[in-house]
Amino acid sequence: MLHVSNPKIYGQTGNLLDKILSSGSLAQGKLVEQFEHAFAGYIGTGYAVAVSSGTSALHLSLLAHGIGKGDEVITTPFSFIASANAIVYCGAKPVFSDIDPLSFNLDPNLIEARITPRTRAVLGVHLYGQPFDVEPVLDICRRHNLVLIEDACQAHGAEYQGKKAGSFGTGCFSFYPTKNMTTGEGGMITTSDPVITDKCRALRNHGQTERYHHTTLGFNVRMTEIAAAIGLGQLKLLGEFNSQRIQNARILSDGLSDIPGIVLPAILPDRLHVFHQYTIRVAREYHLSRDGLKSHLEANGVGCAVHYPLPITKQPLYHDLGYAIPMPRAEAASTEVLSLPVHPSLTREDLNTIIEVIRSA
Ligand SMILES: *Cc1c(COP(=O)(O)O)cnc(C)c1O
């Protein structure tokens, strides 16, 4: 069976792990600091703050910008649920704005209509590894005095106009095993703002600004030294992993380009798409439904997945919270998208198998 993701810990983490275990310093320490420094350098921001997950990165970023009860945050309905949940954790209201059907990311042209006097931020998601159209979104943020939070949990190393995702607003990354790089569980906040940095550092550690001196209500969302050691090894290999993903995507697109009704992932101008997912659209003209093609792939040993079968606005939780508003493009996408394996450990033969299995459908 070819799996949709196949996390591997490459690199020389072994020695480092032995050292950590014998040192007795297991929680947030020197290696976490080193990892933060290396990650900020890679993304091109002044600072990075390591946390326990992508979800906690989003939560702390919003809190650090003072977002709370009564505030509204504009976001996409087509993402993993964590991007909207983080807004709800703060007591703020997620205001959904529909997607651009080509990239599956927020459509900048629809955002301004969603702004009210309570809007404080835009939380955009760089879905599948491709940056959303940052420039017009930043322009809206500047004109309306809004904060930009970038959910880059699927976009480590992705670029927009030659700059890394996560360097435009406050960047949030996840290091969950299926992502382009992993630490087991883990996350990172990237920013060049020293005030936001200090607030995030305090918030991840019970609001502590000096030892046992707590100025705000914080959390325990620290990263361990073990996770940081894994992350340092992974960061060195991220460029290679991403190149492999991009090459795999190119091979898949070459092999699938002439099938009527299969819409291949679009790479938009000025973007480096790092293919966290290689997601096709199974359009209505295709002779099988999306679910029909999915069953055919699985029956032939090719794993695949639907990201995501429900827009967040259609999730029962969001229905109960009163956010069940129509999002026609996200709803259409959720019935048509299918992610094929694209991860770095696929061989040329695996890719040929995927192509042949789709062709035989
Ligand atoms: C994975 C992911 C998250 C959450 O990251 P965790 O580390 O699992 O908490 C948030 N947003 C998006 C878009 C993701 O893909």
pLDDT band at residue 1, thresholds of 50, 70 and 90? confident
For residue 54 and ligand 1, the question of a CB distance below 6 A is answered with: yes
Please tell me if the CB atom of residue 180 comes closer than 6 angstroms to any atom of ligand 1.
no
Q: How confident is the model at residue 49 (pLDDT cuts 50, 70, 90)?
A: very high
pLDDT digits (tens, 9 = 90+) for 52-101: 999 999 999 999 999 999 999 999 999 999 999 999 999 999 999 999 99
Q: What is the pLDDT of residues 110-148, one digit of tens each?
A: 999 999 999 999 999 999 999 999 999 999 999 999 999
Answer whether 174 contacts ligand 1 (Cβ < 6 A). yes
How many whole angstroms from 196 Cα to the centroid of ligand 1? Answer: 21
Q: Is the CB of 53 under 6 A from ligand 1?
A: yes
**How far apart (Å, rounded) are the C-alpha atoms in residues 125 and 80?**
9
Long-range contacts of 163-167 (CB under 8 A, 24+ apart): 163/44, 164/42, 164/43, 164/44, 165/126, 165/131, 166/43, 166/45, 166/190, 167/43, 167/44, 167/45, 167/192
Q: What is the mean pLDDT of the chain?
A: 96
- Say how far apart CA 289 and CA 302 lie, in whole Å: 17
pTM for the whole thing? 0.97
Distance 261 CA to ligand 1 centre (A): 30
Contact 279 CB / ligand 1 (< 6 Å) = no
Q: Is 187 in the pocket of ligand 1 (CB under 6 A)?
A: yes
pLDDT in tens, 226-281: 999 999 999 999 999 999 999 999 999 999 999 999 999 999 999 999 999 999 99
Which atom in ligand 1 lies closest to the alpha carbon of residue 174? 7
Of all protein residues, the one whose alpha carbon is nearest to atom 14 of ligand 1 is 153
